[in-house]
Structure 1
Amino acid sequence: MTNADPDAPRTAMPLGPSLLVAETFDQTQVTQLRHAATACAYGAGLRGQRLDDFVLAVNELTTNAVRHGGGRGVLRMWRQAGSLVCEVSDHGGGIGARLLGARGRPAPDTAGGWGLWLARELSDTMEVESDGAGTVVRITTILPTPHPTPD
């Protein structure tokens, strides 16, 4: 994904009615974004532990963008084919190959890698693209099938 504008998002996110959130953020907006993510996920049909897990995963990604990705990021959330998708991008220096390739739980005394690991554990899918121009992390959770109401 290459854009001529270095501040333009590196994403293939849909535009239109399925877009629920599109926000640039810094540390001062992380809590506000968590509340917005909760409202969107709830509105999309997530409840209980699935809602809590998805919101925690989103919070880990936004916190990582602030801490490791240049102090700010972009959060986008949308519905897509029975799933809720959240994408967090930043313009930091990227994630090292060792950490990017790690799939197991970090050792208890490890200082890094917990946020990505937790986001992967708490979502149904996770994709990461990272290089020297920044990182894009996309997570999804499958939405519950709506039950038809009797007439």
Structure 2
Amino acid sequence: MNADGPAPGDRGQDVRWNQSFTADDLAALRQALRHHAGRAGLNDDALDDLCMAAHELITNALRHGGGYGEVELRRDADTIVCQVIDQGPGFTASPDDLQRPPAHVAGGRGLWLARQLTHHLTLEHRSNGVTASVAMHLTNSHSAPAASATCPPHCTRREPRRDI
């Protein structure tokens, strides 16, 4: 295993990690998230993409979700899932509604970017906040993953975009 993930061909380890956070924890949180996602089996572009997507979810929790939250990273079979839980007022958008904001608009790209960089984005609206989850599949198959708690039956596998 190298510093950013497993060696080529290495399947990674089962990982379950969670941590509460505030804005003061952001730099250390990013480093810890990258470390654990690498241990779980992500490397190269996939590791960068998951970390960037998670960073967008975390900063949304800080900015719109009460200023604090909890992040959880886990490996479910061949899928790495990162959940960010906040206590904010929530919103009504679904991942399918997310559009790229016009270039002249400041902000508003976090969830859209997280969706573009990962295979799956889920937004769970709760009475006391939002749980935003992104998932990256470790397999090279282009077929849809099996139905699970990670990807519901309607989940279709999307390849992360490289043209953003």
Quote the residue 1:75 is aligned against: 71
Greater CA drift, 82-91 or 41-50: 41-50
**Counterpart residue number, 1:39:** 35
Q: Which sections of structure 1, spanning at least 5 residues, go unmatched?
A: 1-16, 146-151
Aligned length: 128
The separation in 2 between residues aligned to 1:67 and 1:73, in whole angstroms, is 11
More helix by share: 1
Residue identity opposite 1:106 in structure 2: P
| Partner of residue 153, structure 2 | none
Instruction: Indicate the SS of the match to 1:128.
Output: strand
**What secondary structure, in the 3-state scheme, does the structure 2 residue paired with 1:29 have?**
helix
| Higher relative contact order (CA closer than 8 Å, sequence separation 6+) | 1
Q: What amino acid sits opposite 1:109 in the alignment? A: H
- Partners of 1:114 and 1:87 in 2: how far apart? 18
Q: Percent identity?
A: 36
Distance 1:25 1:80 in 2: 23
- Secondary structure at the counterpart of residue 42 of structure 2: coil
- Regions of 4+ moved over 4 Å: 98-101
What TM-score results when the alignment is normalised by the length of structure 2? 0.71
User: In the TM superposition, what is the alpha-carbon distance from 1:100 to its structure 2 partner?
Assistant: 6.4
Taking the aligned partners of 2:74 and 2:86, their CA distance within structure 1 comes to 18
- 1:105 is matched by which residue type in structure 2? R
Give the alignment's TM-score, normalised by structure 1.
0.76
Deviation at 1:50, TM superposition (A): 1.0
Root mean square deviation of aligned Cα: 2.1
Question: Is 1:84–2:80 an aligned residue pair?
Answer: yes
Distance 1:100 1:144, change over 3 A: closer
